[in-house]
Chain A
């Protein structure tokens, strides 16, 4: 097996072995999707009648957030703390192949998430008309943005601190992300802030890309693209390998 393939295999194996990971990347989005689709307590954006039509793209954005940011941050911080990254640094593996394996592993987890959540949403009556190109582009940009944020957090903080920070930020981005609660429900000032965050931008694009003929605001694309560049660059500049 090549070093890349072996590294990818181990990354996936270790991810699958962590119960809390499965809860975070599949359990919580699935629970939110099923609960709020079935229990009619949620405010819905104008023009949407069935909660699942709003929630399905929202929890897909949440899935990208959880894998891209939270999993990356926690996994990386503990690997740094345990000296795993330091030890790999003197093997012939090299940073490019390590990063390639980690990114591929994130994408693989996202494929599983999308498959599971889509099937669940369809079962709940989701009837999307998907603009695949826009959705795919948004997921890739979102993964870069959230992965960069995750590495930015993990690059300096200890494992335990990263765990708290990443989970805290996850909750903030969930609440301000327009994923489960529509942005329109937020007070004006908070909403202005939320619109500049990558979570709301990704959710907005995915919602527009799954409702027939919908178009996301240009601002969402700009915001998401800016985060997708700025967060990884900031992480690369500040990251400490040991």
Chain B
């Protein structure tokens, strides 16, 4: 049985159809990312699965249960991280975790979880005194303290600093290791690519693509450029001659070569750098291709 099953879902707010036709499934233990521009219907889809919204058409099941009709049976088994924190501004991290732990039959140890999200030093601060990233991490911890079988994370890395982002990533990776099914929304491509077993791209209330990151990339156009970092001010004209393609500066110390990243082109680049005794920082080929897929799918007819 799939952990989450959505078929033909439509949700309306009065006359506005927020979700028109969404179908996808999340297998047990799988991490699936709903990816799409703002207003695509990601949050509405997740809220239908959490039991907040009644489908106007179609059917949603979580662990085989109807999120509205079987809410009492389902709630102890899911964890929800809403987009807006939903935490009392005066409460302190450990108080909030202990409170949420009390709702569930077999919760995680609140103090240990607080340490895992790196907030032990903030134990005396209230929610309103935490930074955006700290709030996100606490909010995630609150979604996980009940040991859910299915976790819904709505934009867990929105507005969060790099450190917080890494903490969130490692927690989500830990969920996968524990066999928890995760449905996460984001509009951040890199986040989706790093985190997801599978990506479902949603646009204007419909699914426009569904597959592993590799499958989605294979369906996209082949890369026609690659980029690398090297010392500022290298001789681009000479390098361009060696590569047989123009070299442009993307930003200080970062260059882009306008040719496909073939083994021959990459070999020519490294040979030229070796000849001039220049270090190569990093080399990125096709790094932005998921963005190409995404833009083609979501903006094709705009």
A-B complex is real: yes
A interface with B by C-beta (< 8 Å): 1-3, 5-7, 10, 13-14, 17-18, 78-79, 82-84, 86-87, 89-94, 242
Out of B80, B85, B99, name the residue touching A7 (CB < 8 Å): B99
Shortest A73–chain B CB gap in Å is 16
Residue B2 at the chain A interface, CB threshold 8 Å: no
Cβ contact within 8 Å between B75 and A83: no
- A86 CA to B50 CA in the complex, in Å? 11
- A84 CA to B91 CA in the complex, in Å? 11
Task: Collect the chain B residues with CB atoms within 8 Å of residue A6's CB.
Answer: 98-99, 102-103
Q: Which of B7-60 contact A (CB under 8 A)?
A: 50-52
**Proximity string of chain B (75-101) to chain A, C-beta cutoff 8 Å, 1 when within and 0 when not:** 110101010111111110001001110
B interface with A by C-beta (< 8 Å): 50-52, 72, 75-76, 78, 80, 82, 84-91, 95, 98-100, 102-104, 142, 146
Cβ contact within 8 Å between B103 and A82: no
Cβ contact within 8 Å between B86 and A18: no
Cβ contact within 8 Å between A92 and B52: no
Shortest B96–chain A CB gap in Å is 8
Cβ contact within 8 Å between A90 and B99: no
Task: Collect the chain A residues with CB atoms within 8 Å of residue B50's CB.
Answer: 90
Cβ contact within 8 Å between B102 and A90: no
Cβ contact within 8 Å between B75 and A92: yes
Shortest A5–chain B CB gap in Å is 8
Out of B76, B82, B85, B98, name the residue touching A92 (CB < 8 Å): B76
Closest 10 CB pairs of A and B: A87-B86, A6-B102, A83-B86, A92-B76, A92-B75, A91-B103, A90-B80, A3-B102, A83-B84, A93-B103
Task: Collect the chain A residues with CB atoms within 8 Å of residue B52's CB.
Answer: 86, 89-90, 242
Cβ contact within 8 Å between A2 and B86: no
Shortest B129–chain A CB gap in Å is 13
Cβ contact within 8 Å between A7 and B88: no
Out of A1, A10, A78, A94, name the residue touching B91 (CB < 8 Å): A10
- A76 CA to B76 CA in the complex, in Å? 24
Cβ contact within 8 Å between A10 and B82: no
Shortest A97–chain B CB gap in Å is 9
